[in-house]
Amino acid sequence: MGTLLNILCLALWLGAGQALAGAQQAEDKAQALEHSAAQQDLATPAPKGQAITPTEVQAVDPAGAAPLDDAITCLARSIYWEAKGRASAEMEAVASVVMNRLGHEGFPDTVCAVVKQGSESGACQFSWWCDGRADAVQEEAQYSLAKEIARKALNRQLQDRTLGALYFHDRSVRPDWAGVYVRTNATGRFVFYKPKGGEAK
C-alpha cells in the first residue's frame, strides 16, 4: 500500500513538473513571437520549432486566475472577456485586433501593454480591464478555447478576419470615434476599423 502511494505521489509530482515546464516553454516562445510581431513580422507563420504547441499553451494559467504578466495570459484573457460564449470567429477577431496593434505606431510593443493601455488614465482600450470586476475566469471550456486562439494568433496562424483593424466596438453601441476611422469588416457582434491614414490615435 505504501509503495502504491509513493508511486502515485511520484507520478503526480512528475506530472506537475512537466506542466510547469510546458508553461514556461510556452511563455518563452510567446515572448519571442510577440517581439517578432512587434517588428511587424505578422505575415509569416512561426517556424515549427518556435511555435507554441497546444499542450504548452493549455499548461499556462490553467485556473484562469494568474496575474496578467505574460503574452498568452493577457491575450487569452482579453479574448475570453471580450467575446466568450460567441462563435470562434468573434474570438479570433478580437485576437487579431490585439496582434494588429502590437508594435504599430501609437501602441505598445508587448501584448500585455497593448491590453492594459489607457488604464493609467482611466481610458482603457479594452473595457474589461477597467470595469472594476474580478478578472478570474468563470468558464473553463471557454477559457481553454481562448488560449488555443491566443496560441494560433501568437504563432501567426490566424486569418485576420478584421482586415487589419486596430479598433472595434460592439454592434449595440455607436462610439463617437467610429466616424473618424475606416470600417474594415464586421462580425455578428463586432464592427472593426482602422485609421484613414494608417496612423493610430
Report the range of poorest mean pLDDT among 29-43, 119-133, 139-153.
Answer: 119-133
Is-contact 122 179, C-beta < 8 A? no
What pLDDT, on the 0 to 100 scale, is given for residue 177?
A: 87
Kindly list the domain boundaries of the chain, sorted by start residue: 2-194
Contact 30, 72 (CB under 8 A): yes
User: By mean pLDDT, which of 9-18, 73-82, 123-132 is the weakest?
Assistant: 9-18
Give the H/E segment covering residue 187.
none
Kindly report, residue by residue over 166-182, the tens digit of the pLDDT: 999 999 988 888 989 99
Q: Round to whole Å and give the CA distance between 125 and 91.
A: 17
What's the average model confidence in pLDDT over 77-104?
93
Report which of 62, 64, 80 is spatially closest to residue 150, judged by C-alpha positions. Answer: 80
Least confident of 19-28, 104-113, 180-189: 19-28
Mean confidence (pLDDT) of the chain: 85
The pLDDT score that the predictor gives to residue 155 is: 96
- pLDDT tier at 8, thresholds 50, 70, 90: very low
Partners of residue 75 on adjacent β-strands: none
The x, y and z cell numbers of residue 158, run together, are 490566424
Asked whether residue 135 carries a pLDDT value surpassing 50, the answer given is yes
